[in-house]
Amino acid sequence: MSIPTRAAVVESGGAPFTLADVELDEPGPREAVVRMVATGLCHTDLGVASGGLPFPLPGVLGHEGAGVVEAVGPAVTGVAPGDHVVLSFTSCGACRNCDGGHPAYCATWLPLNLIGGRRADGSSTISRGGEPLGGHFFGQSSFAERALVDERSLVKVDPEVPLTSIAPLGCGVQTGVGAVWNVLKPVTGSTVVVLGAGAVGLSAVMAAALTPATTVVAVDRVGERLALARELGATHVVNAGDDDLGKALAEITGGQGADGVVETTGNVGVLRQGVDALGARGTLVVVGAPPFGTEVALDVNGLLGGKRVVGLTLGDAETQSFIPALVRLVKEGRLPLHRLISTYAFADIDQAVRDMGTGKAIKPVLTF
């Protein structure tokens, strides 16, 4: 028996999201049906919808879901019907990196999450009129009233915390926080620079404010975002549209350079400036993703002072422990995520996309 639901379908690269009646497959042994309450909109969704990644279209995207479990497959043990869950990425659970607590670097991460559009066995999770659609996006495809979700994507959370307020934890927030906590791990008195004050960058600012770093610098071109960054814990801000970034960072760091830089813009010119701004033994975390195949030139001798450039997927987080900790911080008001969120009815998904594109909304969250 298939499960009828409504979903936002992208018919082809560059097409808008259109609501349509679709059918979900029956849950497999390690899958659950989740009634969606909220789902965040992320630049990755827009990149795939634009045709920028080889995901099979027509298809259903969405990968920052939050909802309530309705039914589970026979082998599911971690959640039960009625549980509140945040949805994140999926992984195989058996490769070396999954075993080692680094599921974001799963051996099958790309096909399982980003470009496959199907389960690992090649079967489809979503269809329309008997024709399979691209689905299984991050193991969830949560731009729908109901989602068929991999058990590895499900994280059980505190039912007292409104799901709308924590939906973005599954991707954007986890990525920004993880860049600081899991990679940079700032020590007492260190300097953290965040390039780009969007949802991921502002999450990194909030995370840095909860560490012993004494200097937290936010860089952007939008004055309102820099003002918000200050309120969320940045000690300094730089408007890259007005100021020379290298000079400004040299001044802020007293010529020492930055200990840690989080690059969220996906702009290779900004990435290069970030690497140049590192101090000795400093680390830059590459979070922002430009189009596939993009390269960046670096000053090799400049790297010999112990600089490190580290790529990052999804905060290198082990979701089952990381996301509940973030939920607790949201609940206690120590991670003021609500400052980033604008809510939209599911039917207004195209308005949310437009507002994200113009910068009016930092983190749109669709509600069901």
Tell me: do 9 and 148 sit in the same domain. Answer: yes
Residue 53 pLDDT greater than 90, yes or no: no
Closest to 287 measured CA to CA, from 251, 313, 307: 313
What pLDDT score was predicted for residue 85? 98
For residue 162, is it within any domain?
no
Residue 90: both structure tokens together: 């999926």
pTM higher than 0.85: yes
Tell me: do 183 and 303 sit in the same domain. Answer: yes
Tell me: do 256 and 348 sit in the same domain. Answer: no
Domain range enclosing 125: 3-156+336-367
For residue 323, is it within any domain?
no
Tell me: do 342 and 201 sit in the same domain. Answer: no
Give CA torsion, residues 314, 319, 321, 324, to 10 deg. Answer: 90
Cα separation, 187 vs 263, whole angstroms: 19
Any alpha helices (H) in 155-308, and if so which ranges? 172-178, 199-209, 223-231, 245-252, 268-276, 300-303
What pLDDT score was predicted for residue 117? 97
Tell me: do 202 and 302 sit in the same domain. Answer: yes
Residue 11: both structure tokens together: 């018919």
Mean pLDDT on 265-273 = 96
Tell me: do 151 and 180 sit in the same domain. Answer: no
Tell me: do 128 and 273 sit in the same domain. Answer: no
Tell me: do 122 and 196 sit in the same domain. Answer: no
What pLDDT score was predicted for residue 1? 84
For residue 169, is it within any domain?
no
For residue 161, is it within any domain?
no
Tell me: do 149 and 233 sit in the same domain. Answer: no
Mean pLDDT on 191-200 = 98
Least confident span in 87-96, 231-240, 286-295, 347-356:
286-295
What pLDDT score was predicted for residue 52? 84
Tell me: do 103 and 183 sit in the same domain. Answer: no
CATH code, domain carrying 99: 3.90.180.10
Residue 348 pLDDT greater than 90, yes or no: yes
Mean pLDDT on 139-150 = 98
Mean pLDDT on 171-178 = 97
Mean pLDDT on 318-340 = 97
| Domain total of the chain | 2
Mean pLDDT on 254-274 = 97
Contact status, residue 101 vs residue 318, Cβ threshold 8 Å: yes
Tell me: do 295 and 348 sit in the same domain. Answer: no
Per the prediction, the chain carries an average pLDDT of 97
Share of the chain above pLDDT 90, in %: 98
For residue 89, is it within any domain?
yes
CATH code, domain carrying 188: 3.40.50.720
Cα separation, 177 vs 192, whole angstroms: 12
Tell me: do 83 and 150 sit in the same domain. Answer: yes
Strand 146-150 vs strand 31-40: parallel, antiparallel, or unpaired? antiparallel
Residue 206 pLDDT greater than 90, yes or no: yes
Contact status, residue 241 vs residue 225, Cβ threshold 8 Å: no
